[in-house]
Amino acid sequence: MKEKLVTKRDVAGWVLGPLVASTIAGAIGYYNGSLPIVWGFASSHPVESALWSALFLLIGVAIGAFARGCLDATKINEMTAKISELEAEPENNSDDDGVQMLTGEDALNFIRSLTDNQKSILAEVYDSGGSISADPFDGDLSQLRTYGLVSMPPIVAPGMPCKWSIPPNVNRILRDNPDLLEVDSKEIEPTPKGISSLSSIMAHAVWSAYEHGDMPIGEAHEEVWASIIDGDGIFERVCHPYMGARNPTDKYRLTSKWRIALKDEATLDLVKIAARGY
């Protein structure tokens, strides 16, 4: 172990500490009248006074050294605890997660394993030039961020949209493998065949949504919920754009494709016929 050298600062602390304490004690003694008594004893017993002064000086130095050691130990303990806390804190850097750790075919298979919804969102970002503006707490984008597929600025303003972007290496993978984000289409077309595949409950929901427009999502049947989640192209959440961000509301409606198709009386009659059993 390397020996610790005594610095001038240490010596100054050891000397000034007792001197300051002696000065304070002398001032107190002067005001309470005990200083003349002590001075008289020191004048008549110089040797004993010198010994007592040396003893007090050593005691002061020892107390100062002990206090300094306690402070140093406290600082060391605080630094050790902080270092341990930093070492134990999990990394939250998406650059070290998911596809960022993979190469070659493993990276391609990782993206292929995404859900259709995740692929659709990633495709939307990619098709928008590699970045979109959205809520910093968007659940779907946050999940893709944990996979290392999208990134966001380190500092964002709560309640304000931020820029979500695709990292360069992921962008290269998607550019070189355009089929990675392809999904099996689940969309039901507003054709006689598509309408005949609807249950009476769904047909009635389509009819009601067409008649009333936006519908409270809290009143939606579970089949309507499944339709929205699966993205079969019939229903969608109503979103209000705000500074480039999509803000879902508590309502749902027919997609534009179905709203346009049902303007045709014959197509609407097919929906009404399919809904008669409900």
The per-residue pLDDT for 262 is 93
Backbone angles phi, psi at 256, to 5 degrees: -60, -35
Q: Rounded mean pLDDT of 102-131?
A: 84
The per-residue pLDDT for 33 is 54
Which positions ≥6 away from 251 have C-beta within 8 Å? 214, 215, 216, 217, 237, 238
**Whole-number average pLDDT of the chain:** 75
The neighbouring-strand residues paired with 156 are none
The per-residue pLDDT for 89 is 44
What tokens appear for 253 in the block? 């409606």
Residue 135 pLDDT grade (very low, low, confident, very high; cuts 50, 70, 90): confident
Q: For residues 174 and 62, what is the distance between their CA atoms, to the nearest angstrom?
A: 71
Q: For residues 182 and 180, what is the distance between their CA atoms, to the nearest angstrom?
A: 6
The per-residue pLDDT for 166 is 92
Q: Rounded mean pLDDT of 58-81?
A: 65
Q: Rounded mean pLDDT of 232-259?
A: 80
The per-residue pLDDT for 256 is 87
The per-residue pLDDT for 205 is 93
pLDDT surpassing 70 at residue 155: yes
Q: Which amino acid, one-letter code, is at 123?
A: A
Look at residue 205 and give its three-state secondary structure. helix
Q: For residues 203 and 197, what is the distance between their CA atoms, to the nearest angstrom?
A: 9
- Lowest mean pLDDT: which of 32-41, 111-120, 233-242? 32-41
The per-residue pLDDT for 273 is 93
Backbone angles phi, psi at 87, to 5 degrees: -70, -35
pLDDT surpassing 80 at residue 174: yes
Percent of the chain residues topping a pLDDT of 90: 17
pLDDT surpassing 70 at residue 210: yes
Burial zone of 79 (CB within 10 Å; 0-12 exposed, 13-18 middle, 19+ buried): exposed
Q: Work out whether strand 215-216 and strand 245-254 pair parallel, antiparallel, or are unpaired.
A: antiparallel
Identify each DSSP E strand in the chain by its residue range.
131-134, 162-165, 215-216, 235-242, 245-254
What tokens appear for 149 in the block? 């597929």
Please check whether residue 224 is in contact with residue 235, taking contact to mean a CB–CB distance below 8 angstroms.
yes
Q: For residues 237 and 248, what is the distance between their CA atoms, to the nearest angstrom?
A: 6
